[in-house]
Structure 1
Amino acid sequence: MIHLSPLAIQEICRLVTTGSQPENLSFRVGVQPGGCADLYYTLQPSTRVTPDDQVWERDGLTIVVDPNSLPAIDGTTLDYAEDLMGGGFRFHNPNAIATCGCGASFSLEATTISDVACTEPPNF
């Protein structure tokens, strides 16, 4: 299951109400290979849900996770924060062993590098 903070819900709702969006809009959360620390997070609007996807409804939002991504992000909390660099979504993943400095990339395996340097910009 993916958890959403109140600020993440508020920001997703703001994005949904900006412009014209399809009625069946959901938000797909997942992971892809790559990034500074093996895997990186993806967060994108979607109108497609497959039978194998995990789907959660929360405060009128539909969150979708594909079955390949779920083991890597199960239990993750999606948050939203504003700072001097602007606002952005933050992933708090209890499964991550190492995290890139920018927070967009993570590893599920132990690494010999104590602090993974960020070499690629966030993808979300």
Structure 2
Amino acid sequence: MNQTAGLKITARAAAELCRQAACGGEPGAMALELVPGSCEAWAIQLRAGTGEAAIARSDGITLYGHSHQLQLLQGLQLDFQSSLSGGGFLLRGGEQIRSCPCGAAFTPRG
């Protein structure tokens, strides 16, 4: 796992990001945006393409985001979990965040 802005990307997440980027016509580039969440303060949105700043790199994918949101992502890990009923990206951060059961929304602690 490589990191740029303190956000880590697991191998599973990198593989799915690469797949989605290629399907979206932007191989190797995905953009992450934090938007106000309904169950926690912030939720993640991902789309194929580039953005303002490279925030993480791993296994053939560069993840872009807004520079003013970098501090919120510091020390977090982006993972991907799949199941028979679907899958999704999860943000993990241990004691640093409170996560929604969906895993895609969080509130920083402290």
TM-score interval for Structure 1 and Structure 2 normalised by the shorter chain = 0.7 to 0.9
Root-mean-square deviation (Å): 2.3
Q: Against the structure 1 CA distance between its residues 82 and 55, is the aligned structure 2 distance closer, same or farther, given a 3 Å change threshold?
A: closer
Q: Which amino acid aligns with 1:104?
A: A
1:69 counterpart SS class = helix
1:41 aligns with 2:44: yes
TM-score by length of 2: 0.74
SS of the equivalent of 1:41 reads strand
Question: Is 1:17 matched with 2:30?
Answer: no
Q: Which runs of 5+ in 1 are unaligned?
A: 111-124
Larger gyration radius, structure 1 or structure 2: 1
Which secondary structure does the structure 2 equivalent of 1:43 belong to?
A: strand
Q: How does 1:82-101 map to 2 (within 5 A)?
A: 82-94=82-94, 95-96=96-97, 98-101=98-101
Kindly report which structure 2 residues correspond to 1:39-118, keeping only aligned pairs within 5 A, or say none: 39-47=42-50, 49-50=51-52, 53-94=53-94, 95-96=96-97, 98-109=98-109
Which structure is higher in helix share? 2
Q: Deviation string for 1:26-78 (max 9, x for gaps)? A: 2122312232112212222223x33xx24443322111121221111112111
Between Structure 1 and Structure 2, the one with more strand by share is 2
2:32–2:47 contact (8 Å) kept in structure 1: yes
Instruction: Give aligned-pair identity as a percent.
Output: 26
TM-score, structure 1 as length reference: 0.68
Number of residues of Structure 1 aligned to a counterpart in Structure 2 = 104
